[in-house]
Amino acid sequence: MKFVPKLFFVLGMFVAVIGCRRDMFNQPKSNPLRESNFFPDGAASRPIPPHTVSRNDLENDEAFYTGMIGTNLVTDFPIQITREVLERGRQRFEINCVPCHGETGEGNGIVVQRGFPAPPSYHIDRLRNAPVGHFFDVMTRGYGVMFSQASHVTPEDRWAIAAYIRALQFSENARFADVPTNEVARLQIAP
């Protein structure tokens, strides 16, 4: 009976040796800077295809992707603010921000009405005077009880939301004198 365990050991080793092929180890390969007779130009390395972007350069615009330059929050938007950007910001704000911040940014969303801690109003002096990079940074990294939104809100949408927040802030303190003269007549006509 002592013979049976030794037989299984020998059979196991035989299977291991037979099953251990060296194809992966001995596969054809090229060394990048050596000559190769495979390609007509004799080079093993191939030219980089046009419009290729290096992985290190994907997020090269620090202000756009972080809301900061060095350790300072940006004060100007790194994108052009258009009507389309504001509309996208409004749409994304309604989806992601309204449940806590409310439709006007007062911090009275439905979640707050059900007991969640209230975020500060966007209309307090501290946030009206905050650089735009602050809003992008808070959406990116979170702040207080607000968790990061970076996993599901793209940088483009975070900037659009920040632009919409600025529009909400401006609208809260808007005066009739701020309306462009070519728009005044249209506002005075009551439907």
Could you tell me the residue ranges of all domains in the chain?
61-173
In the numeric block, the tokens 């900037």 are attached to: 159
Tokens of 133: 């990079």
pLDDT tens digits, 100-134 = 999 999 999 999 999 999 999 999 999 999 999 99
| Type of residue found at 173 | N
Sign of CA dihedral 68, 70, 75, 77: negative
Residue 33: pLDDT band by 50, 70, 90 thresholds? confident
pTM of the entire predicted model:
0.67
Q: Which residues contact 191 (CB under 8 A, 6 or more apart)?
A: none
Residue 64 · residue 79 · CB < 8 Å: yes
What fold, for 61-173? Answer: Cytochrome Bc1 Complex; Chain D, domain 2 (1.10.760)
